[in-house]
Structure 1
Amino acid sequence: MSIRRAALWSLASQYASFAIQFATSVIVSRFFLLPADVGLFSIALAAAMMFAIFQDLGISRFVSGQPEMKDEAIRDYAAVAVALGWFVALLVAAAALPLARFYQQPALLPIVLVIALSYAIVPLALVPAALLTRAMNFRALFVANAGSALAGGVTAFVCAAHGAGPGALAWGVLATAATRALIVLAFRPVFPRMIRDRSAVQPLLGFGSSSFVISCSAAIGLRSQDLIVGRLLGVVATGLFTRASALAAQLSTLVVGAINTVFYPAFARKRDAGEPLGEPYLHLVACNTALNWPAMLGLALAAEPVVLALYGPKWEAVAPLLRWTALGEIFFVAVPLQMDIPILLGRIKSLVWINLLDTVLTVLILGLACLYGVEAAAMSRLATGALWFAIYITFQKKLLAIPAQRIVMVYLRSGLCAVAAGFPLFTALQTGLYRAEMGLLPLVGLAGVGALFWLGALVLVRHPAWDEVKLMLGHLWPQPLRRARG
């Protein structure tokens, strides 16, 4: 499967999964759950994910990125994945009662236990999914991801409608894990066995030992946020903070997540062929920022009407938090594949130290910000994002030997395009032509005008992403474009 064809399937998977998960989130939050309910589930999930660092140990990256794969070792890799996954499930289950006591929230106990059960199922799909990624079979992954998202969404909705409260989201997680495992195994059956030759899994374990430190550090930096906010500011603040962070992250993933998923195996192939990665990486940065920066700027500008239209008045306190988290996301998307490129190029030890620095800064900044309230906690995402960007762009620039001037020009062009896209909405808000209570329809119209401004800016600044836009338009409307060229 070609890179562009794989990208289309990955994009379809991303959009379908996002649409289902987002619709579920909006419906369940608007009609059945309160911020405290979402906060309670977020604490449970964040705590469980802290243990999940033991689950993967880089198995997915190892399997999908290896230059050569020994077929006879695949079932041994699956055995390692399942053993680690079940160990994690036991750890999560054992932590349920202490966690409920620590936060003085008895309702955490059953939620954590259901999540632990899902963690016993997740590893069954780990190696099969990595093999599908390696083969760039994103068609199969589309079925698995969209199907499991639908199963999880329906389960969460039904449970919430029957009064399950925050536990409804946990049952949705379980249904998602079970459905994905069944579908992935149907496409690429791989079942664990007793390891016959330990030397077969030594490369995996060697890779995993370094990857574990990175996963551990990343998990602490990312997953500890809800735990810190929950402990210092309470479950209501956690629910508001989580909803703002999730909304910005979901939109970011929707816009560029599929592209990044495809590029990892594609870059692995280029590495194996001895091709330089600098130019394709610059193109990836250009596409990421050209697409994501306008989306994040628009979300920040329209935070209040978006929150009111989607979640209703009881969630209106999310709006000021969303504004800051969306702006912070601008930095996080500016350096794609910040983990994957160093791993592909054998610089995992350097990555470990850089990731540790990033984690320490994230935790310290958030902890200090929480002393001043939940909005300050959201504002800390902007400061953390700026530092994160400075750290990783410096490392990637050096690693890929990319001239600083080239990177600056890419960011400058993307920034101008983002400003152009946000100009109609900014003007309408400042002049009073659009107000939060007017709803989503006028907002969609302004976004459409912004999209036209964005396209014009792409052409004017000669942005690299314009070539991709032309290719996409050529697939959608080939005849008009041919006549225009003629």
Structure 2
Amino acid sequence: MRIESLDRISMSDFFPSLVRFPIHSSALRILVARNRTRTAGRQLPGSLPMPSKFARQAAGAAWWSAVEIAARYGVQFLVTLVLARLLLPSDFGLAALLVIFTSLGAVLVDSGFGTALIQRQHTSADDETTVFVFSILAAAMLCGLLAFAAPFIAGFFRAPALSPLLRLASLTLVLSAAGAVPDALLTMRMNFRARTQAQLVASLVSGTVAVTLALNGAGVWSLVWQLVTAAAIRSLCLWVCSRWRPAGRFNRASLTGLAKFGSFMLLSSLLNSIYVQLQPLLIGRLFDTRSLGFFTLAQNSQQAPMSLVGGVLTRVGLPVFSALAHAPSRMLDALRPILRLSMFVFVPCMVGIAITAEPLVTLVYGPRWLPAAPILSILALAGTLWPVHVLNLEAIKAQGRSDLFFRLALVKVSLAIVLVVLGSPWGAIGVAWATLVASVLNAAINTYYSWKLLGFGPRAQMREQAPTFALAITAALVGWAVLHWMPATSISMVLSIACASVVYLGLAWAFRVQALTDLHSFIHTLRADATLKPDIGNDLT
């Protein structure tokens, strides 16, 4: 996709599978506030626009991205629910140890080139083929390295069963690398319908394989085969949906050009991955795989809504913000309503998980997983600021400032690692509290460059989110009171959520909170988008 001028962007540039006619509008008009609100009768900065056809397609892109991630984690949730009753906590702990090394390997294989392709906005056949060849070769080398090092890694964790599991799991690096370029191209073109189809098929097939193997006594092997199957099916589906084929040549100039942006993204992603994987590494090394299993279950439960919101904001935010990189004031006008709306939806969800963690874990996973409940409560509170993290970082990336992105990652990860190491002697609970403290401090750090580049710093951002936090705290107190005066059962959990939701939305309506108006406008836009009949047969043409 080539974007030469924001004033000549057409619908087909961003949404090739949905439309075939041009709209003379800037990408900014997808999201920014250049409209008159019904309440004030005048233009307000940072409010969502009235739904034009272009805005409906933008909302459709966000919708399909949300569907894709929701499908993935919805299927994964159902699979985990079944596997949690068939497998032991130690099995999940072993699987978490595998993910430490496959996640780090995936970051090295990508090397920031996927993000570089998206940020560049216009790519040549040589660019795409170069990234593809590099990814495959890097994945093959790392796969061999992990296979060789598997016995030594198993010895480090005092878990002999880890060695053959790691050798099988390392295949996911090569399988995922095969789909890296089609995935990046679909994201760049905001064709999330195709990505949704690929992810849904992969999740269903891999989940079925895992449950079938677990029912037949395969134990932890069922979790590993789920990873391998998901990577293979997803890459295959991405190739089919994108119709992309390596048509260019490996070009050193392309590699060098992409690496100027991608190298900083690689370092940033690597630092972040090291921090994330340090948590299970310390728990697995200092304690046992059973304790790690409880932490992993709590972390996966926390990350399901975080991945949904973060995935949507990243996939839609980076292409749109990249198109607005030359106009900081317009990017700010796009950033403010998205942040306000995402926080309004996300904060009460995470607070709700925190206060209902005990009955939630008991109901969903069974009584033997109850030690994961307090960990889940703390991690859920740590995740409330996730949209702040994601959107501020996407705004920095969109301006091509991967160097600033790396500086932020270096400071944040260094701080977080110190906190996690300090908290690790207290086990999984200590690591969870360290994560909470790190999340609050990192939010302030992430917004620093937004203040420098856009004039929208931590004070201004938190001031805009103050109504959401006030409503969430009030609703949480109501929900907690219901749970406190009733036995911890599924009925009390549902009643608590219902009462808190009524209080949250009721107060938002009574006080005319702007975020509620934004939500209403967004839903109205989605309804308008539903009246369009997309051309599914031409996803990338």
Structure 1 length as normaliser, TM-score?
Answer: 0.91
The farther-off stretch of 100-109 and 351-360 is 351-360
Q: Residues 272 and 144 from structure 1, CA distance in 2 versus in 1: closer, same or farther, beyond 3 angstroms? A: farther
Give the counterpart of 1:68 among 97, 122, 135. Answer: 122
Cα offset, 1:475, TM superposition: 6.3
Q: Separation in 1 of the partners of 2:473 and 2:328?
A: 38
Q: What are the ranges of 5 or more consecutive residues in structure 1 without an aligned counterpart? A: 479-486
Match of 1:449 in 2: 499
Match of 2:444 in 1: 390
In the alignment, the residues of structure 2 paired with residue 74 and residue 157 of structure 1 have an alpha-carbon distance, to the nearest angstrom, of: 37
Shift of 1:189: 3.1
Matches within 5 A, 1:19-418: 19-29=74-84, 31-192=85-246, 195-255=249-309, 257-271=311-325, 276-402=330-456, 406-418=460-472
Deviations 1:362-418 (A, max 9, x none): 222112212123222222121111221121122322232216553232220110221
Q: CA RMSD in A?
A: 2.2
Identity, % of aligned pairs?
25
Superimposed CA distance per residue, residues 316-374 of structure 1 (whole angstroms, 9 cap, x where no aligned partner): 10111111111111233432234332222132222222211211222221122121232
* AA at the equivalent of 1:443: M
1:435 is matched with which residue? 487
Residues 159 and 338 of structure 1: is their aligned pair in 2 closer, same or farther, counting only changes over 3 Å? farther
Quote the offset at 1:192 in angstroms: 4.3
What secondary structure is seen at the aligned counterpart in 1 of 2:330? coil
Structure 1 residues 236 and 260: CA distance shift in structure 2, 3 A: same
Q: 2: distance between equivalents of 1:215 and 1:293?
A: 25
Between the aligned partners of 2:448 and 2:173, the Cα distance in structure 1 is 36
Q: How many residues are aligned here?
A: 473
Looking at structure 2, the residues matched to 448 and 477 of structure 1 have their Cα atoms a distance apart, in angstroms, of 25
Q: CA deviation at 1:129?
A: 0.9
Residue in 1 that maps onto 2:37:
none
Select between 335-344 and 120-129 the one with higher mean Cα deviation. Answer: 335-344
Amino acid in the other structure paired with 2:79: T
Measured at CA, do residues 212 and 260 of structure 1 come closer, stay the same or move farther in structure 2, by a change above 3 Å? closer
Task: Please state which structure has a larger fraction of its residues in helix.
Answer: 1
Counterpart contact for 1:82–1:192, Cα < 8 Å: no
Q: Give, as a single letter, the amino acid of the residue that structure 1 aligns with 2:356.
A: A
Distance (whole Å) between structure 2 residues aligned to residue 342 and residue 217 of structure 1: 17
CA distance in 1, matches of 2:222, 2:326: 45
Among 4, 10, 13, the alignment partner of 2:68 is: 13
TM-fit CA distance, 1:28: 0.2
> For residue 58 of structure 2, what is the aligned residue in structure 1?
3
Distance, in Å, in 1 between the alignment partners of 2:316 and 2:139 is: 25
- Counterpart for residue 516 of structure 2: 466
Residue type of the alignment partner of 2:83: V
Q: Is the 8 A contact 1:255 1:291 kept in 2?
A: no
The CA deviation string for residues 200-252 of structure 1, in whole angstroms up to 9 with x for no partner, is 33212332222221122111111121111111122111111111111111122
Contact 1:128 1:185 in 2 (8 A): yes
For 2:177 and 2:408, how far apart are their aligned partners in 1?
Answer: 28
2:447 aligned counterpart, secondary structure: helix
Contact 2:125 2:247 in 1 (8 A): no
Q: Distance in 1 between matches of 2:443 and 2:108?
A: 27
CA offset at residue 306 of structure 1? Answer: 0.4
Mean alpha-carbon deviation: is it higher for 170-179 or for 150-159? 150-159
Q: Tell me, yes or no, if the aligned pair for 2:133 and 2:250 is still in contact at 8 Å.
A: no
| Corresponding residue number in structure 2 for 1:484 | none
In structure 2, C-alpha distance between the alignment counterparts of 1:188 and 1:194, rounded to whole Å: 16
Q: 1:52 to 1:197 in 2, by over 3 A?
A: closer
- AA matched with 2:341: C
How far, CA to CA, are the matches of 2:519 and 2:251 in structure 1? 50
1:425 matched residue in structure 2: 479
Paired amino acid for 2:502: L
Change (3 A) 1:335 1:397: farther
CA contact (8 A) 2:86 2:214 kept: yes
Q: Go from structure 1 to structure 2 and tell me whether the alpha carbon gap of 1:80 and 1:189 turns closer, same or farther (over 3 Å shift).
A: farther
User: Any idea what SS the aligned residue of 2:160 has?
Assistant: coil
What's the offset of the Cα at 1:196? 4.7
1-structure distance, mates of 2:111, 2:448:
26
- Give the 3-state SS of the residue equivalent to 1:335 in structure 2: helix
**C-alpha contact 1:79 1:193 (8 A) present in aligned 2:** no
1:108 Cα offset (Å): 0.5
